[in-house]
Structure 1
C-alpha cells in the first residue's frame, strides 16, 4: 500500500500544533491572570515587573497563540488535500487577526520600553499601530459578515440588518455625551481619531451580534469571544481617549486592553481547531427576539429624542430601524394576497384566481367566444399509491409547466385541486377548442421521469363553450365537468358538452353515491367460474368475479360499474372487499373438504400498492388458509408500465407461496422479457384467441404455439372462453393445462357452485 507522505506529515504537524497551542493557551492565561492581579494591587504606580516584564510576556504569548492558530489551520488544510498541494486558505480572518494582535504588541512594547529606557517616544508610531489594528479587525469583521450572509435567506438578512441598525442607534445615543465631553475638553485631532477608529468596529460588532443571534446558539458560541474581545478593547480605548490628560500607566484600565486581546486570541485558537463543529441551525426564539428588541430600541430612541437632545445620527438610525422593520409586514401582506390566489404546489392560479379572472374578463367583454377546458389526469391515484404523494406532487408540477407552455399568452390556466386543471381559452370556437385539447393531450403524452421511472400519463378533457353552454363560470365548470367524465367513460380523450350529457352526469353522480353505499351495505357479491384441469377433468380451482346486487337495477356486471370505481378512487376498497369474501368462502369450502384455489383479479391501481403482499398474507393467516389457497391474476398492462415495481411486489407475493397468473394474455403489450424476468406461474390465454379455433387454422396454430411457449418457460397455460366441445378437445390435444368457459360452466354463485360440484362428482362416480 502506498502512503501519502504529505498527508502523514500534515497529520503529525497538526497534532504537534494542537498540543503546543494547549500549553501556550494555559501559559497565556497564567500571564493574563498575574498581570490583572498585579494591576489591581494598590501600589505607588508603575511597576517594572508587572507593567514591564509581565506585560511583555503576556503580549508575546498572545502573539504566539494567534500565529500557532494560523499555522495549525494551514496544516489542517494541507491534510485535507494530501499531496496535491495546499488548499486555498479559507479562514483569512485568522491571518489578519494574528497580524493585528502582533502590531498592537509591537507598538505597545515599543512605547513601554522607550518609557523604561527614558528614550523619546514618537506618538505617531502608536497612532499608526492602533489605526492598523482597527483596520485589520475591520477587515476581519467584514469577512465574517460576508461569510455569514452567504446562502442566508432574505428574511434572516433583513432581521440581521434590523438588529444592526437598532444596536447602532443605541450606540449613537451613548456616544453623544462622549463626543460632547471631548469637545468640552478641547480634544485635538489625534484624540478624535482615536475615538473614531473604534466606532467602525463597534458598528460592525453590532452587525456580527445581529447575525450571530439570527444564526442560533452554535454560531453564537463561535463568535462570542471575538465580539466580547472587540467590545472590551474598543471600550477601553474610548475611556482612554476621555482620560488621556489624566491617564497613568499601571492602573486597572490597562487590564481592559489585555483582556480584550486575550479574548480575541482565544477566539483565533478555537477557530483553528479541526474538530470545531459548525452548525448554522437557527434558534427560533433568538431569531424572533432580535427584530423585536431592535425595533423596540429604535422606538425608544425616537421617544427619547422627543424629550431631550439626541444626536441626529441616532435619530436617523432609529428611523431606519423602524422603516426596515415595517418591510416584513408589508411583504407579508403582499405574500398573503398572492398566496390567496396562487396554488401552493404548482404556482399556478388557484380556483379563487380563476373565478376572479373569468369574472373580470366577462365584465370587460361579453361578446367574445370563449371555451372552458376541464382537464383531469387519468389514473393519477396509481402514481400516488405506487410512488408516494411526493412523486404525485412532482408530477403535478411538471404537468402544470407543460400545460402552461402549450397555451397562448392570453389564455388562463388554473389548478382547481387534486389532478384537475381548468383552462379558459380566449377568442375560441368549438373547432379550435378541440384542437387545443388535442395538442395538450399530445404534450402530456411524452414520458415524465419520477423516482428514476419513466412514466406515461394521459388526460381526459371536458369542453364547455361560452356563451352557448353558460354565461358564468359556475355553469361552465359544471358542464365541462360532465363532458370530462363523458370523455373518461368513452376513452375519447376529450369531449364537448352536449345536452344529453346532463342526464348522463346526473345518473353518474347518483350511481357513484349508490356505489359508495354498496361497499358499506354488503351489496357486492361474488360469482365463481370453475377452472378445469384438461388432463384429469377435475376442478382445480375457481375464478372469483364480482357482481353488484343493486337494490333497484338488479344484478350488475363489472363492465357497468368498474370504470366508475376506478374514477372515484374506490378500487382499493373494492379489492379488499373481494379478497375478504373470496377467502371467507375458501374457508367454508375447506371445512367441507373441498380443496379449491380461488383466483382474484387485481387492477393495476391495486397491485402497485407496496403493502399488498403483507396485507394479503395477514388475511390468509387470520383465516388459517395456506398461501396456495389464493391465486392473484394481473394484467400485462401493469407489467409493462412499471416492471421494476412489478418485480418487487410479485417476488414478495411468490416468496409467501401465493400463485401469480397473467390474465388476458396476448391482448396487451406482450413481451418475452417479462415472461423471463418476473415470477409468474401461469398464463391465461384471452378468449379472443380461443373463440375462432374451430374455423381458423391460423388461430389454432397461434394457440398451439402459445401453449408450447408457456411450457417451454415452465408455466401453466389456461384457456379462457371455451364455448364448445370442439375447442375443448383441441385444447386437450394441444396439451393445454386448464380451461374456463361456458361449455363447462358460467360464473355462478357459491351456492350454485356447490350444487354444480356435487352433481359433477356424482356423474363422475356413476359407471
Structure 2
C-alpha cells in the first residue's frame, strides 16, 4: 500500500531520531569527549531531546488532537526539551542557571503532564478492569514507593541541607516526582497481566528509563560523583525516544479495540504479593537502620492496603463459592431449583412423616414447538411456564424444573383432594396461550400425582410412580391422573409399545391403504385418500387409533408425516406411470401442521418425484385451526402458493367454521359422517347437509361427503349436488393392489354399484 507524503515524512523522522540516538550513545560510550565535547553536549544532545518531541507532535496532528494521552505526552516531552535547551545553552555560554531557577519549573512540568498521559493511556488500554484489580495496582504503587523512598533517602537528606525553603522545595520536588512516577508505573504494571497493549508497554518502559535516569542522577549528585558525558546521560533520550514511538503507535492503532482483561492464576496475586513483601522488608530494615519517616509511612500504607485487598478477596471468594452452590442447585433457564436441589430438599422433608403429594408435569407436544419454531422460542416458553407455576406454589411447597419440559411440585401436607385441586388449577393455567416473540402458542400439560407415604417413602420412588401416572394422563387425554398400582403394568406395556413404534418408523412397518373419492354425478374416481396402518409383526394390521396418540406424545409425528407423504407420492408416481391420473390426499394431524418448514419439505418431496403439485391434497382439521389461526393462514398460504390443494376435514365438528372459510385458503370441504349418515331419516340433518353444500359451492369450494354407507345416502347427496363422496358403500380403505383391481372392474362396466368391498360399516379410519 502506497504511503502518503505525511506518513513518509513521519517515518523518516522516526528513523532519524533512532539513528541520532545510536550516534549519541556511541559518543557517550567512548568516554573521552575532550575533542568533541561541545558537539556532543550541544547540538547532538539537544537533537536527541527535540526529535522525540517533534515525532510526538506529528502523531498529535495526524490524530487531529483526538488522543488526549498523545497530546499530554507531546507537551511533557516538549517541556523537558525546552528546559534542557535552556540549561545546555546557558551552560555552554558560561552562565549556568542558579538553583533554583525558572528552568526547574519547566523541567518539573514534565512529571504531571506525563503522569496524566500514562493514566489516560492505561484507562484506554484496560477499560474493563475491576475494583479489586485497581486495588492491586494501588498496593503495587505504595510498595514501589516505599522501596524508592529508601533508595532516594540520601537525595532527600541532601535536599534538606539546601539553603532556603524554596531551594529545599524544588530539590525535594525532583525525587518526589520520580517517586510518584515510578509508583504509577509499578501500579499500572500490576495490570500488565491484563494483556496490556504493546503500545502502552512502550510508554511504560520509556517512563521507567527516564525515571531511572533521574534517580541515578540524583544519587550521583547527592554523593558528588556525577560526571557529564557518561552513558547514564543516554538513558533520558532513550526513554524519550520510546515515548515518541508509543505516540506513533497510538496513532497507528487508533481504531483498535482495547484488549480484554485476562488475569488468571499467579499473575492475579503476583503484584500485591511482591509489594507486600517489599513493604514488609522496608519495615524490618527500619528496625535495624535509620530510615526516613516517608519510607516507613509508605510501607505502612502498602501493608494496610494489602490487608484490605486480602479481606476483599476473601469476601469475593466466599460470594463466588455461594453463587456456585446456588448455580449448581438452580436451573439456569427458569431460575427454579433443579433436580439436584429438589433431591436435597425432599430428602430432608420426607423424614418428618407428614403427608405430601408429588406432581410431575410434562408439556404436551412441546417437541413440536422446538421443531417448528426453534429451541430459542421453546426456551422462552419454558420461562413463562415456570413463572405461571410459581404462582401456584405455597410457602412450604417445592417447585423444580427436572429438565426439558418436565417440572415437579412437592406439596406439603397434601392428600389426594388437595393434590387434585392444585393439579386442576395448574392444568388450567398452563393450558392457556403463550405469547412468545409475537407468536401465539397454545399448550396443554399432563400431570401425574404420587402420594407420600402411600406410593413411596423416597423421592426416587415417588418420581417413578408420578411419571407412570403422568404418561397415563397423557395417553388417556384426561390431563391429570393419580397413580394406581395397575398403572405399573400399563407403564411397562407403554414402554414396550414405545420401542416398537420407534422400530416401526425405521423398518417400513407402516403401510398405506387407499380409499377412493367417487364423483357422485358420473361415478368416476378423481382421487384417493391415503390412510396409514401399522403392520405389526405380532398383532397384525393395526388402525391409526391404536398408535397415533402415542406417536403424538413421543413427538414423532413429523417423522410419521414425512413417511406417509413419501409413500403416498411414490404410489401416485407409479400410478401416473401406469396411466392412472389420481390425486392423493394425505391427512395431517394438528401437530403435523404446526411445522413452519412443512411447505418447503412438501415442495422438495414433489420435486424429487417429478410430480406436479396439484397431484397432492393435504387434509387438515379444525383442531389445528383453533390453535393458531395466524400461523395456519401463513402455512396454508405457502402450501397453496406451491400449487398443493388443501381440504378441511371433518367439517362441522369444530367451532367458528364460517370464520375459517372466510379467512383461510381452501379448495375442498369434507362434511363429517355424523351429518351424512342420518340424513335420509332426519330432515334436520338433511337440511344441514344441503345448506353446507350450497355454502361450499358459493365459496367456490368442492364438497365431499364422508361416511356414505348406503345407496340411499349416495343418491340423496347426488340430488343435492354434492361433488364427491367416500364410504363403505363404494369401498373401504384397501392396499394399492386391491384398489387397482377395484378400479379396473369399474372401468370394465361395474359402475357405481359394481365391484366393491362391503362389510360392517365402522367409522372410517
Q: TM-score, normalising length from structure 1?
A: 0.79
| CA deviation after TM superposition for structure 1 residue 386, in Å | 0.9
Query: 1:362: which partner in 2?
Result: 350
Change (3 A) 1:576 1:32: closer
Equivalent residue for 1:497?
A: 483
Q: How does 1:318-717 map to 2 (within 5 A)?
A: 337-363=325-351, 365-366=352-353, 368-445=354-431, 447-620=433-606, 623=609, 625-639=611-625, 641-642=627-628, 646=632, 649-650=635-636, 653-654=639-640, 656-668=642-654, 670=656, 680-694=666-680, 700=686, 702-717=688-703
Structure 2: distance between partners of 1:707 and 1:198: 100
- CA distance change for structure 1 residues 704 and 71 in 2, over 3 Å: closer, same or farther? farther
Q: Distance in 1 between matches of 2:676 and 2:605?
A: 35
Greater shift in the superposed pair: 509-518 or 646-655: 646-655
How far apart, CA to CA, are the structure 2 residues paired with 1:59 and 1:40?
A: 16
Task: Give the counterpart of 1:276 among 241, 254, 258.
Answer: 254
Q: How far, CA to CA, are the matches of 2:659 and 2:50 in structure 1?
A: 79
Q: Is the 8 A contact 1:162 1:294 kept in 2?
A: no
SS of 1:564 mapped into structure 2: helix
CA distance in 2, matches of 1:683, 1:551: 37
Deviation string, structure 1 residues 41-64 (Cα, Å, up to 9, x no partner): 242398555544555566555555
For the residues of structure 2 that align with 1:305 and 1:62, how far apart are their CA atoms?
36
> Cα offset for 1:355?
1.2
1:197 equivalenced with 2:177 (yes/no): yes
**Residue pairs, 1:140-159, within 5 angstroms:** 140-147=117-124, 150-151=127-128
Between 1:226-235 and 1:97-106, the stretch displaced more is 97-106
Deviation at 1:468, TM superposition (A): 3.2
Counterpart residue number, 2:760: none
Which SS does the other structure have where 1:598 is aligned? Answer: strand
Deviations 1:379-408 (A, max 9, x none): 111111012223222322332233234423
Deviation at 1:555, TM superposition (A): 3.7
Tell me how far apart the structure 2 counterparts of residues 618 and 724 of structure 1 sit (CA, whole Å). 40
Task: Compute the displacement of 1:373 (Å).
Answer: 1.3
Deviation, structure 1 residue 208: 4.4
1:180/1:232 Cα in 2 relative to 1: closer, same or farther (>3 Å)?
closer
Is contact 1:225–1:264 with CA below 8 Å preserved after alignment? yes
CA distance in 2, matches of 1:53, 1:394: 74
3-state SS in 2 of match to 1:267: helix
Aligned counterparts of 2:156 and 2:188: Cα–Cα separation in 1: 33
Structure 1 pair 29–196 and aligned structure 2 pair: CA distance change class (3 A)? farther
Greater Cα shift, 103-112 or 458-467: 103-112
Tell me, yes or no, if structure 1 residue 739 matches structure 2 residue 709. Answer: no
User: Partner of 1:424: helix, strand, or coil?
Assistant: strand
Unmatched segments (≥5 aa) in structure 1: 1-17, 77-90
Task: Check if 1:121 corresponds to 2:98.
Answer: yes
SS in 1 for 2:722: coil
**Is 1:720 aligned to residue 706 of structure 2?**
yes
Question: Residue in 2 aligned with 1:5?
Answer: none
- CA 1:40 to 1:521, structure 2 compared with 1: closer, same or farther past 3 Å? closer
Q: Which residue is 2:232 aligned to?
A: 253
Deviation at residue 416 of structure 1 after TM alignment: 1.1
After the TM superposition, which of the residue ranges 457-466 and 257-266 deviates more from structure 2? 257-266
How far, CA to CA, are the matches of 1:45 and 1:164 in structure 2?
48
Match of 2:294 in 1: none
- 1:519-577 per-position Cα deviation (integer Å, ceiling 9, x unaligned): 34544332221111234321111111122344554443222321111111222332233
Aligned equivalents of 1:436 and 1:563: distance in 2? 26
- Are the structure 2 counterparts of residues 669 and 100 from structure 1 closer, same or farther at C-alpha, using a change threshold of 3 Å? farther
Secondary structure at the residue paired with 1:526? Answer: strand
Which one has a bigger Cα radius of gyration? 2
The CA distance in 1 between the partners of 2:108 and 2:659, in whole Å, is 79
**What's the RMSD between the two structures over aligned residues?**
4.4
Following superposition, the deviation at residue 628 of structure 1 comes to 3.9
Going from structure 1 to structure 2, the CA distance change for 1:532 and 1:126 (only over 3 Å counts) comes to farther
Give the match's secondary structure for 1:606: coil
Q: 1:674 to 1:166 in 2, by over 3 A?
A: farther
Structure 1 match to 2:112:
135
Does structure 1 residue 111 correspond to structure 2 residue 97?
Answer: no
In structure 1, the partner of 2:194 is 214
Aligned residue among 210, 235, 238 for 1:233: 210
Q: Give the CA deviation at 1:261.
A: 3.0
Equivalent residue for 1:44? 34
Query: Which has more helix, going by share of residues?
Result: 1
Query: How many residues are matched?
Result: 720
Shift in Å at residue 510 of structure 1?
Answer: 3.2
For residues 493 and 706 of structure 1, the distance between their equivalents in structure 2, rounded to whole angstroms, comes to 35
Q: What SS class does the counterpart of residue 123 from structure 1 fall into?
A: coil
1:311-358, Cα deviation, whole Å (9 max, x unpaired): 795996999999999999877765654444333433432222211110
1:600/1:142 CA distance change after superposition, 3 Å:
same
Distance 2:632 2:35 in 1: 90
Distance 1:63 1:690, change over 3 A: farther
Query: Following the alignment from structure 1 to structure 2, what is the Cα–Cα distance between the partners of residues 48 and 706?
Result: 116
Find the counterpart in structure 2 of residue 4 from structure 1. Answer: none
Residues in 1 aligned to 2:416 and 2:688: alpha-carbon distance in whole angstroms:
46
Aligned to 2:291: none
- Tell me the residue number matched to 2:19: 33
Q: Which runs of 5+ in 2 are unaligned?
A: 161-169, 287-298, 755-765
